[in-house]
Amino acid sequence: MCTIGTFLDGGHKDSPEPFSPCDHAPGSAKFMTFGISFDPSAAFSRQRMAAFRFQIAPTPQVKADTPETKYIKPVIEIFENCVRAGEPRVFSYEHETSADREFFTILVDVEGEKKRLALVNFLAPGIICWDGLMRPTTSCPNAASILVQDDAERLLYDHSTACQFVVFTDGHGILVVNHVAIQLGRSVNAANFTCNLATNGRNSLRQVLAVILYQAPFLLFDPVPYPMFVQGCMNQAIELEWPTGKSPLPAAKHFRDFDFFALQRSVADLKGFLAWREDESRRVFASPVDIGSVFQVQRHALAEEQGVWCCPFPNPALPPSSRHLVTRNPRSRLPSVDAILASSPETVLSFRVTKVVRHRQNTFSQVFFGVLCAADGTVSKPVCLKLFVDTLFPINKNRLFEDFDSDSEPCWRLQTLNYGEDLARREESAYQRLAEYQGTLLSHCYGFHRFTLDDRYNAYGALLEIIPGPRLADLELDMWSKPVQQGLVRQLRECMRALLYAGVDQGDWHGGQVLFPSGADYNPKTDSVVLIDFAFAMQRLGDEQRHGVAANLQSNGHIELKIYLRKAGIPEDVQGACFGWDDMDTNEW
């Protein structure tokens, strides 16, 4: 028994031999090779299929080493039972054999008419020259012959077999063809096909078949997150302006003291909220936190008061090579911090600031270094406090009011208005999901607590390990040698893989989120990097449309990281395909 994700990625040898070099003399038929424009794209189809990866794959009732029971039938069953759950069956297949092959016609029922979607041919080894097909111009006769001379061309266009795709495989390679153009009178013909080594992972035959089934001419399940809107009602008539001299909420101290449902529907309420926020921000910051300031600490208040967000899906095991790269140079926790936090609940705790790292208005977190202090005089080693003070958050007023000018429903308004509780819970969830990487890829986390300072500060914050060393933004990446740049790209790619395997998509990559604890002289063979700042990291938090089906992450953080690195001085040719759509594997969606 295995999961659908493991099943679709499998079916081949773990370490297949590469294609043998083509040593055939050029033939008379030459082909310019073009890819296939799948719609939806192959990456998009794999992304949708990845949503089902935690469900159990169908178990063959008969011997499972034939093409039918190993590939064709189970992939169709996955589509019917999972992708199209609850819908009438539309996929079927016909099985035939001939002297040189075994082949299957995949059919799809469109409004009562069975149409051929694909013809899948299983050939004996040695018929196709795979290396010849991999060339930009195919001139090898053992490669070109599969495209013409009674094969792909005939199967695609002959009335008795015409279909959208023709697939050939001998267990070593996989060829998918959907167009062949014989250009009479010209020396070079054209063909649209994809060709790859048959390997476990995104290039497996089962994954290829799943991409083809997604080309069926009707909508299939799209596992986007289910939107969760605020529910409520208006207590009073909607006004355009806030009454002069009226205080929004005399006792308001936080964003959560305002009715978000009303803010989405009343411009007057929104104006009143923004006016309060301006006044409160000035009041709070009138006497900034300084060295020696002391916050009172209410332990684990976030979990006790707000509850924490928990992903319902397990963390798949990271590939060993990836894990080795992201868990270099482990760092120990600070026993003094753990001991103070674990002391008797009656013990009064405080946090004394020893360094102000970032403390200003219009930023999403205030950052201080300091020490935990117990009532008996015990003092911890220095730790970092990341404090979420919502009255100091940046707000784009124009963007908020623009929401009222659009035709969208009120429930979609104010999506850019961030609450301190949400940022804290998102960060807490990320550190929990990535707990095994604390002390290597991540800083150690010592919990999320409430921190108060007189009548100005009363907010949730995280106690984190202090990571010395420069930020990515501080380094001149364009001055690094190409091998060092390539090493950093690979390491960041594996770091991103670790995040995505845990269902954490860092969607707002910037140079302040990557730290180099070994210093600016980065050595990709030995050094580690540390990732911080997950307050805006998208995660799966129970917003699935179907039970057991993982909603796709929506941030596309791999593209954001690729763009950032390019702007920072690492060119496209160094990055290669590392952050492309086709480089994402099943557990990263």
Side chain identity at residue 527, one-letter code: D
What pLDDT shows up at residue 146? 84
Our CA dihedral for 337, 338, 342, 343, rounded to 10 degrees, sits at -40
The answer to whether residue 245 scores a pLDDT higher than 80 is no
What pLDDT shows up at residue 63? 64
540 token code pair: 């799966």
Phi, psi angle pair for 354, to nearest 5°: -110, -15
Contacts of 423 (CB under 8 A, 6+ apart): 364, 365, 388, 535, 536
**Residue-wise DSSP of 447-512:** EEEEEEETTTEEEEEEEE----S-BGGGS-GGGS-HHHHHHHHHHHHHHHHHHHHTTEE--S--TT
**pLDDT tens for each residue of 307-364:** 998 888 999 999 999 999 999 999 999 999 999 999 888 778 999 999 999 999 999 9
**pLDDT tens for each residue of 261-281:** 999 999 999 999 999 999 999
b/e code 313-335 from CB counts within 10 Å (16+ = b): bebbebbeebbebbbeeeeeebe
What pLDDT shows up at residue 243? 59
Phi, psi angle pair for 539, to nearest 5°: -145, 165
The answer to whether residue 160 scores a pLDDT higher than 80 is no
Report the pLDDT averaged over residues 376-380.
94
Q: Look at residues 563, 554, 566, 558 and name the one whose alpha carbon lies nearest to residue 582.
A: 558
CA dist 389 and 281 (Å) reads 10
Map 42-103 to HEC letters. Answer: HHHHHHHHHCCCCCECCCCCCCCCCHHHHHHHHHHHHHHHHHCCCCCCCEEEEEEECCCEEE
Contacts of 153 (CB under 8 A, 6+ apart): 147, 180, 182
DSSP character at residue 334: -
pTM: 0.90
What pLDDT shows up at residue 27? 82
Q: Which run of H or of E encompasses 193?
A: strand 189-197
What pLDDT shows up at residue 109? 95
Phi, psi angle pair for 381, to nearest 5°: -70, 160
Query: Which one has a higher pLDDT value, 529 or 62?
Result: 529
Report the pLDDT averaged over residues 460-473.
97
| Strand-pair category, 504-505 with 445-453 | unpaired
The answer to whether residue 195 scores a pLDDT higher than 90 is yes
Contacts of 36 (CB under 8 A, 6+ apart): 176, 178, 179, 192, 193, 194
